[in-house]
Structures are given as C-alpha cells and as structure tokens.
Structure 1
Amino acid sequence: MDSLFFALQPEPAAAGRAVELAESLRAAHDLKAQATAVERLHVTLHHLGALREETVTRALRAAATLDCPAVEVRFDKATSFKSGGKKRPLVLLSRQALQPLQDFRSTLGVALSLHGVDVDDGSFRPHLTLLRDARAVPEQSVGPVAWKAREFVLLQSLVGQGRYVVLGRWPLNG
C-alpha cells in the first residue's frame, strides 16, 4: 500500500550537489547501488503511514494552518545507517543540531495532532538519503549540501514504482 509523509525537498542546486556527492562516495567506497534520483531526494519530517483518504484530508488541513519561517538546511557529513535489511542507507547528516528544522517539525507535529493525525514524537535525526548499498560507509566529513527550505510538501510514495506524487505544497516565509 502507498504511504504518506511530509518532507522538505532540496533546491535544484543542492539536489545536484547531493547527487554529485553520492557519485563521489560510490567511487571512493566501491558501492554498487545507484544514487537516489534527484526528484526523490528529501528530508522526511513526519511519516504518516499507509495512504488513507481521511489522513490525507486531515494532513492537508493541518498544513494549511501553518505560518512558519523558511528553514536553513545544511548537511556536512556522510555515513551509513544501520538497517535491518540487506541494503544500508548512505545518508547526509549535520554536525549541528539544525534547531530551526527541529522546531518546524515540532510545529507541524502539533498541527497534525490537533487535526487528528497520529504522529511519532520520537527522536528525529534529519538526514538526506543518497543511496542504499550492502556496503557500509564510515562517518566522514563532506563538502556541505545546503539550501534554504522555502516550502514543505505532502508526498505520496507509490510503493514499488520508485516515485512520489506531491499531494500538497505550502510556502515557508522568508
């Protein structure tokens, strides 16, 4: 079944830089997996589970209530996450807390809860997945991938098709 989530998508220059970095890391660590397609790059804010019409309606209403500032996003290290599957996500992370991003995610979570959408209030580690490969890459510094997020989106993940559909898009001020 398709799934639903809120995300930030990188601006074109940052997305291009992320793909270049993925290719560089592939070569440096002899990784076999292909880089995540530019149009699939994102930072997940809240995963809302399986696609249900009622959840979509409530999520759209909640998002429309927000009036938040644009968010600076900056990733400057890469590593592989541990995974239960055969392929480990190679991700970009930040050495900084990215507090404005954390704050925006919390604000979105409150709005979703007020509109009857269940959200996971657990730990949040902002990241951008570059690819998934069987080989692990140790943590290392990388040239930054940075952008100012001026909007957030509600995405439908088309399971098994490797693509997303934008169900809603909202501006962030500034």
Structure 2
Amino acid sequence: MPEQLWLPKLETRSPPTDGLFFAVYPDANTAAGIAKLAQQLCVEAQARSRVRGKPLAVDRLHVTLRHLGNFAGGLPADVVEAAKRAAALVSMAPFTVEFDAVASFAKRPRPGPVVLVGEHSVRGLHALHDALEAGLEAGGIEPDARFTPHLTLAYGLPWIGRRPAEPVCWNVREFALMHSLLGQSRHIVLARWPLVGQR
C-alpha cells in the first residue's frame, strides 16, 4: 500500500463579522434629500443600461472618517478603547460640509458604488480626519493617511464620469464611532462626540 502523503493543516481564518469606523451623518432632512438622489440615479441606470442598483437606506447614509478594521467574532476591546481615547482628544468647532458632484468609485467600465464628492467645501472633513488620525497614532494604532471624503449613494451602478450635482450641504456638529454588523446592513452607534470648538 503506497505511503500517504502528509500535508500540514492549513490555517482557516474565520470570515470577518464586525467592522469599526468613525463617521459623520447628515441631519434627517438632508439625508432624505440624499436618499431621493440615490433612488433617482438607480432609476436612470436601469433605464439606460437595465442595471438595477441598490440605493443605501436613508439611515445608513454617512461619510466614513476613518475605517479601523474588520474583525471576526466581535470587536476587540483594546481597539475600541483606543478609538474612544483618540476621539476624546479632538477639539474642533462645528463646520459646514458640501458635496457638489457624483462619481463612480469603481474602475471603468465595471459597475460599483456611486458617491457624492466635493472639493473645497470638504476641508472640515479633512481636518476632522487628521485630528482623529493624530490621536489614533498616539494610541498605537497604525496610521492611515488615505482619505477621500465621499458619501456612498448606491452600489452596483454602471461606471459614470464625475459630473456636477445639486449641492448637498449640512452642518457637522458631531461625529460617531460605529459598529458595523457585516452582511447585515446594520450600524450600531458605540459613542458620539460633539464638536464644541477649540479649548
């Protein structure tokens, strides 16, 4: 009988179940207007190319300031605590954000997310991201300078070039630490911090 080959057992990683990120959310009236725009883009895409996109639910419309990772089997308490400590160090006044264009976040010609973007009127988001980044780095979390302020409107839409849109703006008065239940389309607020100005 031939000798059976022995192979080392391959490690199997559990799929991620939980995500952690900082975000800002539009107020309810602004979010309702953004949801209408998302629905309109999906209807246009279906009429143009018979692709049925999936608009985000109104309560999930947000701008991600900093993604802190996806994890299997729950959120690591040390990362959550480090994130909360970093957030507590932020001292900024409220600011206005404005998005005035839509664009694809997919490589042409593949379908993918369509998002709201802006230029000069998203500087406050850059400043808030940088303040969080400084606190996170001081707390031992790996730095990540990549940040393109955007708000996802819908997934699975055909590629489109950047084009102007009716400006969407709101006053950012707080930011939040969010727990995402991956695959369930659910976000849970872990903590919120108001923007109250420089100390």
- Partner amino acid for 2:61? L
Larger-gyration structure (1/2) = 2
Once residues 63 and 107 of structure 2 are traced to their aligned partners in structure 1, the CA distance between those partners, rounded to angstroms, is 18
Identify the match of residue 109 of structure 1 among 128, 133, 138.
133
Query: Could you tell me which residue of structure 1 aligns to residue 7 of structure 2?
Result: none
The answer to whether the aligner puts 1:70 opposite 2:86 as a matched pair is: no
Moved beyond 4 Å, runs of 4+: none
Query: Could you tell me which residue of structure 2 aligns to residue 38 of structure 1?
Result: 58
Once residues 188 and 24 of structure 2 are traced to their aligned partners in structure 1, the CA distance between those partners, rounded to angstroms, is 14
Identify the match of residue 49 of structure 1 among 69, 87, 90.
69
Query: Could you tell me which residue of structure 1 aligns to residue 156 of structure 2?
Result: 133
Query: Could you tell me which residue of structure 1 aligns to residue 143 of structure 2?
Result: 119
TM-score by length of 1: 0.91
Query: Could you tell me which residue of structure 2 aligns to residue 95 of structure 1?
Result: 119
Cα pair 1:47 1:119 within 8 Å, conserved: no
Residue aligned with 1:32, SS: coil
Once residues 101 and 126 of structure 1 are traced to their aligned partners in structure 2, the CA distance between those partners, rounded to angstroms, is 7
Q: Over aligned residues, Cα RMSD in angstroms?
A: 1.8
Write the deviation string for residues 96-144 of structure 1: whole angstroms up to 9, x where unpaired: 262222112101110111122223113x210000011141223211111
- Partner amino acid for 1:19? A
Residue aligned with 1:18, SS: helix
Identify the match of residue 162 of structure 1 among 171, 181, 185.
185
- Partner amino acid for 1:21? L
Once residues 34 and 40 of structure 1 are traced to their aligned partners in structure 2, the CA distance between those partners, rounded to angstroms, is 13
Residue aligned with 1:74, SS: strand
Cα pair 1:29 1:137 within 8 Å, conserved: no
Percent identity among equivalent residues?
A: 38
The answer to whether the aligner puts 1:152 opposite 2:146 as a matched pair is: no
Structure number with greater CO (CA < 8 Å, separation at least 6) is 1
Once residues 15 and 46 of structure 1 are traced to their aligned partners in structure 2, the CA distance between those partners, rounded to angstroms, is 20
Identify the match of residue 18 of structure 1 among 9, 34, 38.
34
**Structure 2, gaps ≥5 residues long:** 1-15
TM-score by length of 2: 0.80
Residue aligned with 1:69, SS: coil
Write the deviation string for residues 39-82 of structure 1: whole angstroms up to 9, x where unpaired: 11111111111332110011111111222111211111111111
Count of aligned positions: 172
